[in-house]
Amino acid sequence: MASDRARTVPGLAGLLRDVRRSLAAVRGELEALATRPHATPESLHDLHRALRRLRQALALWARLLGPADRRALRPLDRRVARLARLIGRVRDRDVMLGLIESANLPRPSADDLPRLLRLRARLRDDARTGRELLKVFARSEIDGRLAEHLETLLRRPARADRVPSVRRLLEDEDERRRLRVRAAHRRARRKSSVNRLHRLRLQIRRLRHLDELRARLDPAFPVPNATAVRRLQAQLGRLHDLDIVLTGLDADLRGSRWAEAMREERRALRAGLRRVLRARDWPWRRGSRRTARGPRRSPAASS
């Protein structure tokens, strides 16, 4: 059993606990979605984030399993990914509504206001319909015992030849994610397109999630001071939100002064991001932690 193996491999118990913690968070949020009369934007955001973290935890755990167990995990992971995509679509409507109704966007002119009100009414209808469909889908996954099937796989034994050191597994994953961030950063510096900047945001987020996981497994893990990285992510997130709004506008609003004011903000934000990406020596450009810091103790304290 996985729990038996976890008692003998440094760090394995902590990793298994983290995967189960992520699964428990998804399970709780999914049951709340299926029973709650109205899912709030905050609750959908929490579920979306929990699903992302679960997929990343499962991807790490899968590297410790044998071929048959990895094959059994794939269809379950596809179900988790499909659920995340459906929630993401409803979340996009919530983002548009939140921005349209906030004071962070330019005020529409008197001519644009009726068209904007029609857009808001349509988005509210779409959001209600999307939530109802999500409730049905959540109930079907609960009835289909998605969480129970995943828990069964977590009880499967890890292959002995794959877990000589959980520390090494996490270091290897750190190297993989760091290389992906560097590649995304390099492409975004060359051409700061919407897609490239969004890709960079996703890769940075995945690297930061791994840092958080390593800190949970090993209290001595030196999580970097990420103030500048968080600021960059916030700017990339704002840019992505503007992209969502501009892409989802009705045809009669795309040429409005209100939409043009948003495009101007997006152009200014992209220009600022281009300068920031070229000027700063970002941490992922300095090589892996393994080579930069040398060996350090294994996360055995979490076993």
Q: How far apart are CA 243 and CA 108, in angstroms?
A: 18
Q: How many helices (H) and strands (E) does the chain have?
A: 12, 0
Q: How many CB atoms lie within 10 A of CB 128?
A: 13
Cα separations in angstroms, 257 against 48, 106, 113, 249, 262? 34, 9, 11, 13, 9
The reported pLDDT for the residue numbered 168 is 83
Consecutive sets of 10 residues in the chain, 303 residues long: mean pLDDT of each? 45 85 93 90 92 90 88 94 93 88 78 89 92 94 95 83 73 90 92 90 90 81 74 91 90 88 91 85 61 39 33
Nearest to 262 by CA among 126, 123, 99: 99
- Rounded Cα distance between 217 and 209, Å, is 13
Q: What does the domain layout of the chain look like in residue ranges?
A: 1-164, 165-303
pLDDT tens for residues 161-198? Answer: 665 677 788 888 989 999 999 999 999 988 888 899 99
Provide the b/e sequence for 171-182 (b: ≥16 CB within 10 Å). Answer: bebbeebbebbb
Query: At residue 198, what is the residue type?
Result: H
Identify the pLDDT of residue 208.
87
DSSP-derived secondary structure letter, 164: S
pTM of the complete model beyond 0.75: yes
Q: What is the pLDDT of residue 235?
A: 92
Write the CA distances from 179 to 99, 197, 212, 289, integer angstroms: 34, 16, 18, 12
Interatomic CA distance for residues 104 and 55, integer angstroms: 33
Q: Are 266 and 243 in contact (CB under 8 A)?
A: yes
Give the amino acid at 78. R
Structure confidence at residue 180 (pLDDT): 94
